[in-house]
Amino acid sequence: MSEPRRMDVLSAIVEDYVYSREPVGSKALVERHHLGVSSATIRNDMAILEEEGLIAAPHTSAGRIPTDKGYRRFVDRIAEVKPLSAPEKRAIQALLDGSDDLDDVMDRTVRLLAQLTNQVAVVQYPHLSRTAVRHIEFVLLAPTQVLIVLIADTGAVQQKILTLQSGLSEEILLDHRQRFLTELAGQPMSTVGNGLPNILQRTPPEMRSTAEALGNALGALASMGREDKIVLAGTANLARSTVDFPLTIGPVLEALEEQVVMLRLLTEMEQDKRGMSVRIGRENPHGGLSEASVIATGYGPDYSARLGILGPMRMDYPTTMAAVRAVARYLSRILGE
């Protein structure tokens, strides 16, 4: 018995089933793939694969389809994630370049990934608390109203309007801004509130109440960025895959709507030596995703945020993994500029 050949047979079944959505028989394998053995040998290999739970017969057809265990064995045998073609790389670069607004970048990313994979794309926002302060701006809207803008090194922008108890001039506000920038620029977002005592020490006594109000507002903005958030695109792609969910597509849609489910799943998925995370079928802890697959990878300076896709188990894993990894690399580059 040849284990490598049986794995070649399994790979051929996966590839044919992904392409045709039809159960695959031994005759078709001999005709389409150069396996170097007879149909009888292929049938014998298929019988062993079925005994091992890697393929199954969906009905009385002589053909077989991969099980979630079979997909897992297939994915584990992918030694490397193949690179995308030059046109695909140019398309990614063209769509993601040219935007400094984080919300716009996230929106472009999920739309692009959904288009490349024909699956549902999911992107987790980078944790603002894990990033650094790039810039602070105070804009005087009225004598007692200040627009406070906090910009992270990822391009994320948080802002709010602060109403003061007493009025101040543009010159004094500029003085406050300079002190805050000197203390906080380049510092982690998580420490924004910790810098206020040092700022107050260097602030003239008559200006300290205003400085404290500005500092508290900045701390609140930094805290807003600690909330986890994801953005989705391509949910309509699931409508074209309803036959891949024998029971109903409803539980999958419900899981997508519950952001906490997707956030927990993305956070818990461990990356393999290729830098990829793949959960197939019942490997997904949420029951609604027991007939779905999730492919994800980390991105950003510390790769703590995740992006990926969700779709049926019957998908082109090598191509999808390549697209997820390529988009993650471009996104990391953009956020690091």
| pLDDT at 61 > cutoff 70 | no
Confidence of residue 72 (pLDDT cuts 50, 70, 90): very high
- Contacts of 67-70 spanning 24+ positions with Cβ under 8 A: 67/281, 68/280, 68/281, 68/282, 68/283, 68/313, 70/10, 70/13, 70/14
**pLDDT category, 192, cuts 50, 70, 90?**
confident
- pLDDT mean over 111-115: 92
Taking alpha carbons only, the member of 275, 318, 264 closest to residue 299 is 275
Contact (CB, 8 A) for 95 and 89:
no
337 has pLDDT over 70: no
Average pLDDT along the chain: 85
Contact 293, 154 (CB under 8 A): no
Q: How far is the CA of 134 from the CAs of 114, 178, 180, in angstroms?
A: 31, 13, 12
pLDDT bin (cut points 50, 70, 90) of residue 264 is confident
Q: What pLDDT, on the 0 to 100 scale, is given for residue 128? A: 61
Tokens of 248: 């109903």
